[in-house]
Structure 1
């Protein structure tokens, strides 16, 4: 009885693995055809999946005048509250593109291991803010780098 169910699960697993390979190859092919995706893939932590996701979500980078505005639309900039002479920085803004926030957050985890410059930023910020907030700092940095790479069309490497 259990043998039949186990065999069916194995057949399903093989089918899903084959489907994942085909999807991954298609994503790799689509990312390789786009110049913007190739530029994004030169940034540490951003592979072809994230590059294609970022390009799909932002549509046109020139709608943002500065990198800070782009990072803000990605939801990577904290809220600011000002009372007289007091300035308080809050949580990351909730009104954003959740896919871009997620992609840059995941890429930040990889980038801290791949880039010496970003690893130094991670160590410096972790001492001041803690590990979780540091990922937000690194994600914001990656968004700024992405904005620079896409607007100037220069290879980061």
Structure 2
């Protein structure tokens, strides 16, 4: 069966083969995986703390930054009706939160150092919305970007192009395919969302464009459309070895 599949794949001109990752690429992706798991564990911990405190009628914030301050204030409140045993549990949760913060910070500092040392990452970070985490993940996941014919192929590989359906001679587009590298897709969408938040204050062409899309089709579709453009820009920049150029509105 394996031999048959290989023969069939070779005969398909559009078949995409997965490149073998270097040791350096594997190490970078390993760093991303452990960071991602630590972030998920931290989110789960904050949700757990919120549920525990809800039993005492205490509202706990959702954001990590506010949660750090809130747990310190709650533990310092001597007038609280919390039992001594529950207070010990909450102190353990506080310590675990601090430990996860420390681990995540350590991983992110390592990723930032890798990004600063790699010229290709520095090139990618000239794209608005692309920081050290996205740049290193993209470079380590893709490897040689010339394996893709164009930026649209890279965007499709990440899962940022719309699904196309047709029947009765009519074609229409639905939501994004969500195929391929989900981690890269998430990073690019987060970056695009950050760009959209400040786009109204900026006069460049891309900011004006994404604001226009947001007004016409909604923020979520604008974010996905921008993430798609970011992926295409990344391909073009790596192929041409040119930094991102901010274009003023005409």
Aligned match of 1:66: 150
Q: Deviation per CA, 1:88-139: give whole Å up to 9, x if none.
A: 1122114221112111111111222266333211222123322221111111
- 1:155 equivalent among 230, 236, 243: 243
TM-score, normalised on structure 1? 0.87
Task: Return the alpha-carbon distance in structure 2 between the equivalents of residues 119 and 43 of structure 1.
Answer: 12
Q: Which has the higher contact order (CA 8 A, sep 6+)?
A: 1
1:14 equivalent to 2:98? Answer yes
Aligned match of 2:219: 131
CA contact (8 A) 2:146 2:239 kept: yes
Task: Return the alpha-carbon distance in structure 2 between the equivalents of residues 44 and 71 of structure 1.
Answer: 17
The DSSP-based 3-state class of the residue aligned with 2:159 is coil
The DSSP-based 3-state class of the residue aligned with 1:87 is strand
User: Cα distance, 1:85 vs. partner?
Assistant: 4.2
1:140 equivalent to 2:228? Answer yes
The DSSP-based 3-state class of the residue aligned with 1:80 is strand
| Larger mean Cα displacement after TM superposition, 66-75 or 124-133 | 124-133
Unaligned runs of 5+ in 2: 1-83, 246-250
Matches within 5 A, 1:13-92: 13-83=97-167, 85-92=169-176
TM-score, normalised on structure 2? 0.57
Distance 1:95 1:5, change over 3 A: closer
Task: Return the alpha-carbon distance in structure 1 between the equivalents of residues 101 and 91 of structure 2.
Answer: 15
User: Cα distance, 1:4 vs. partner?
Assistant: 3.6
- Larger-Rg structure: 2
Structure 1 segments, 4+ long, off by >6 Å, are none
| Larger mean Cα displacement after TM superposition, 126-135 or 42-51 | 126-135
CA contact (8 A) 1:79 1:92 kept: yes
The DSSP-based 3-state class of the residue aligned with 1:44 is coil
Distance 1:9 1:58, change over 3 A: same
